[in-house]
A = this chain, B = another copy of it.
Amino acid sequence: MKTITSVREMQQTANLLRQEGKRIALVPTMGYLHEGHLSLIRRAREKADVVVTSIYVNPTQFGPKEDFTAYPRDLARDSQLAEGAGNDILFAPSDRDMYPDGYQTSVKVEKLTVGLCGVSRPTHFQGVTTIVAKLFNIVKPHIAIFGAKDAQQAMVIKRMTADLNLDIEIDVAPIVRESDGLAMSSRNAYLFPQERKEATIVYRSLLEAERRIKEGERDVPTLKRAMQEMIEAMPSSRIDYVEFVDADNLQPLERIAGDVLIVLAVYIGKTRLIDNLRWPE
């Protein structure tokens, strides 16, 4: 596996690969890789000739009071894990190369970024779309793989890609979970042991909503209340949001109908976790 840290070298490499007719897949990550990321790399491996995993903790997608500084980083470990999963090129640029002096451009998706995570993280998605647009222009992939855990992010990226006429297939891979159901996340590393136990409530509340829908419940306020009560019973929990939204446009629903996405963000202690579940599957 090759590691590239220079934007220019990555771009030249991508140009050469494309001239050779190679199909490039990009797996954009913030590093501290877990099994979820590795599943994306393996999926990319099946869909392209060359797999590029980018590792970049992008400062502009963190709010001023968020965990940019604390975000876990371990490039040596990431490098081993990525190679083991079949990655070809690790692209790990520097802040100075990505946001040089005088940098002043942003890419913004309007409507899809307003609700859900956009409420408590008002500048987050602009940071995400900007860095992803940059990574797309640097790595020049034919396909890019994103995880379904960040459901809103995946929809925002799809929208940006279509709107800006980027000739790139956006592929969304299923959530990978720990054996007790907790969605894998680099931020799980923040959880204290007791919090780690309580964190399972996030997914369990989704399963409870699914069970009730299967039994015929269609009233969203009723379903929401059931989830909220379960979550609030945990001493370390604080709900950011629990929503039932149209899976096509993220608009809130009052009744279960059509393709529904149940989405939530919950603080467990100081750690903010997100998860989601589609209905029907």
Query: A residues touching B (Cβ–Cβ < 8 Å)?
Result: 7, 11, 15, 18-19, 21, 102-112, 129-130, 133-134, 137-138, 140, 159-160, 163-167, 249
Contact = CB atoms under 8 A, between A and B. Distances in A.
Most buried by B among A110, A138, A140, A163: A163
Contacts of A167: 11, 15, 137, 140
Contact of A107 (B7, B103, B107, B159): B107
Contact of A109 (B15, B21, B105): B105
> How many copies of this chain sit in the oligomeric assembly?
2
A14 to B, nearest CB: 9
Nearest to A137: B165
Contacts of A134: 163-165
A160 B105 contact: yes
A166 B219 CA distance: 48
B105 A105 contact: no
Nearest to A106: B108
A251 B115 CA distance: 38
Contacts of A7: 165
